Amino acid sequence: MLLWGAAFVSPFVAYQEDVKTAEGELLAHLSDRAGLQAQALGAHLGLLRSELQRLAEHPSLRPEDGATGPEVALLENAFSHTSLFSAGVALVAANGQRMWSDPVDMPLGRTPLASRVWFRRMVEERVASVGLLDEEGGGLVAVAVPIVRDERVVGLLVGELTTANELLPTTPRGTNESMVALLGERGRLLLPATPPPLLRQPQLATRLRPLVDAPGAVTLGGTRLLGAAALVPGTDMLLAVLDDEARDREMLKRRYLGQLGFHTVLLGGVLLLFTVLLRRSYRSLVAAEERLRHQETMAALGTASSLIAHEVKNALNSMQAALSMIRAKGGETTLPVQALRSQADRLGHLARSLLGFASPHPVQRRSCEMHLLVQDALQAVRLLPEAADVAIETTLQEGLFVKGDPTLLVSAVDNLMRNAVEAGAVAHDIGQQPTPRVEVRLLREAAEVVLVVEDNAGGVPPAFEPRLWEPFAVGRSKGIGLGLPMVRTAIRAHDGGSVSYTRVPGGSRFTVRLPLEKMAS
């Protein structure tokens, strides 16, 4: 969960940091751009003023005497081939009357020049001026320079531009372009020529002027913008560069969502791989612990089994000696003696099982005919007291040879048949099966020798089946739970050997498979 949380929190924190960083970088960029464009505009206006100022200072230009031939020739020669002023150039007297213009019909506004604030200020202060020719709505931009003679203004040279775009050429705004606004001395919007609704706001100059000292956010028409502004050198004009904050945030948001998706997929894959490896490691650890615990248990049980087997075997030897003395006196046929011999045989089998579990018999392979081994086991099983109540049916195919240890194989077959006979006897005693039967079949299937031991004693309880092959797991009243584990151990000791249990209607079926010995041709 911590990793999943980190997968989502990390991109979000990065997104917040990106927004702050991008906003700072954008403001720095806008500030630099506003400053550079203001400097460029100042240089352009300086060029226009210099061109007019150069001619205004010419000694031959004396508008107080009227537009004489030499003065007209001077003006026409200076401006006839220039493209600096697209709307034209005019020589104006100090009272605002036109004296000369090129073209002749060059507009000078809808109201007399002498009534203009900028005209009167320029005459009074004797300084050049740049602004709208008509503050009330005209599109012409005028650059005016006073002609000063004897410390008084005797006329003006006025150069006109058709549109403010000529002051600051711009390309059409694209999707990612910033917006540039140029305001005149009295806050009149000069650029763009066709302003968008965002710039058609009252008191626009008042809102944008603080951006000169502190670039940042400004809200125009309900839209939050980031902007910076700068004053145009040599003028009172204000140039502002604005950028849509929402658009920039949307770009960052898309990048954030992309990072989030990538982090989620990447971390999801890592977590999935980590989960798989963790589960595998956990299962391996559990299996290793289980094997270690099983080995420790088996070692302890083996030690205990060895001690018990030796004690039983010592007592059994004394019983066998006593039975031999009774047999020598002719008392073999009495019932108590037969019962005592049966119990002695059972204890002998128990002792052998315990010793076999504690100290497994080393495998000594040689060629064995399975028919003879099964017959040996049958002889021992038929002597059991329980065999009197159980019918043993055999179908044994002869001539089937295996490469194996006869002692281990006889012990395995003996345990399987002994379990079946004892189960049948118990089923008969409790009335579950009046005619208990054990069927033993020996046959060949392909390259295998197959031994089947099947009974009709009801089968192994379903709840006990998972523990069927565990040592000391007992599912009935008789036995100590070593028979089937020893059978599996003995059969698996023969390469390719296997033993399996199958529930059949009314009973159990145990199947032993051993590889058939390849006889020399």
pTM of the model: 0.46
User: What's the pLDDT at 137?
Assistant: 47
Q: How does pLDDT run across 392-412, given as a tens digit for each residue?
A: 999 999 999 999 888 889 888
Positive or negative torsion for Cα 160, 162, 166, 168: positive
Q: Which of 53-62, 112-121, 330-339, 494-503 has the lowest mean pLDDT?
A: 330-339
User: What's the pLDDT at 189?
Assistant: 82
Report phi then psi at 396, rounded to 5: -115, 120
Residues 421 and 481: beta-carbon distance below 8 Å: no
Tokens of 328: 């020598």
Q: SS3 letters for 343-378?
A: HHHHHHHHHHHHHHHHCCCCCCCEEEEHHHHHHHHH
Question: What is the chain's mean pLDDT, rounded?
Answer: 80
Give the sheet arrangement for strand 448-455, strand by strand: 391-396, 437-445, 448-455, 507-515, 498-504
User: What's the pLDDT at 146?
Assistant: 92
Q: Provide the greatest CA pair distance for the chain.
A: 177
Q: How far is CA 392 from CA 418, 436, 440, in A?
A: 11, 9, 7
Report phi then psi at 499, rounded to 5: -135, 140
Distance CA 66, CA 18 (A): 67
Domain ranges of the chain: 57-165, 364-515
**Who contacts 153 (Cβ-Cβ below 8 Å, separation ≥6)?**
94, 122, 123, 126, 146, 147
Pairing mode of beta strands 437-445, 391-396? parallel
Distance CA 93, CA 65 (A): 10
Distance CA 242, CA 29 (A): 11
Pick the CATH number of 364-515 from 2.60.200.20, 3.30.565.10, 3.30.540.10, 3.40.640.10: 3.30.565.10
Q: How does pLDDT run across 147-175, given as a tens digit for each residue?
A: 998 888 888 998 887 765 666 655 444 44
Give the pLDDT band (50/70/90) at residue 296.
confident
Express as a percent the part of the chain with pLDDT over 70.
77
* Position 180 pLDDT exceeds 80: yes
Helix (H) or strand (E) holding 382: helix 370-382
* Position 372 pLDDT exceeds 90: yes
If you average pLDDT over each of 186-195, 272-281, 478-487, which comes out highest?
A: 272-281
Distance CA 383, CA 63 (A): 154
Q: How does pLDDT run across 476-520, given as a tens digit for each residue?
A: 656 667 778 888 888 888 888 899 999 999 999 999 999 998 875
Q: How does pLDDT run across 42-87, given as a tens digit for each residue?
A: 888 888 888 888 888 888 888 877 778 888 888 888 877 667 787 8
If you average pLDDT over each of 26-30, 181-185, 361-365, 499-503, which comes out highest?
A: 499-503
Read off the pLDDT of each residue in 29-50 and give the average, rounded to a whole number. 88
Q: How does pLDDT run across 415-431, given as a tens digit for each residue?
A: 899 889 989 999 998 88
Helix (H) or strand (E) holding 1: none
Superfamily of structural domain 57-165: PAS domain (3.30.450.20)
Distance CA 166, CA 400 (A): 113
Torsion-angle region of 150 (φ positive above 0: left; ψ -120 to 50: alpha; else: beta): left
Q: How does pLDDT run across 456-476, given as a tens digit for each residue?
A: 998 888 888 888 888 777 766
Burial class (CB within 10 angstroms; exposed 0-12, middle 13-18, buried 19+) of 487: buried
Cis peptide before 103 (omega within 30 of 0): yes
Q: Which of 191-200, 339-348, 435-444 has the lowest mean pLDDT?
A: 339-348
Between residues 234 and 431, the one the model is more confident about:
431
Residues 474 and 421: beta-carbon distance below 8 Å: no
What's the first-to-final CA gap in the chain, in angstroms? 69
Read off the pLDDT of each residue in 358-383 and give the average, rounded to a whole number. 84
User: What's the pLDDT at 107?
Assistant: 81
Q: How does pLDDT run across 197-229, given as a tens digit for each residue?
A: 888 888 888 899 999 999 998 988 888 888 999
Between residues 434 and 178, the one the model is more confident about:
434
Distance CA 288, CA 286 (A): 5
Q: How does DSSP classify residue 425? A: H
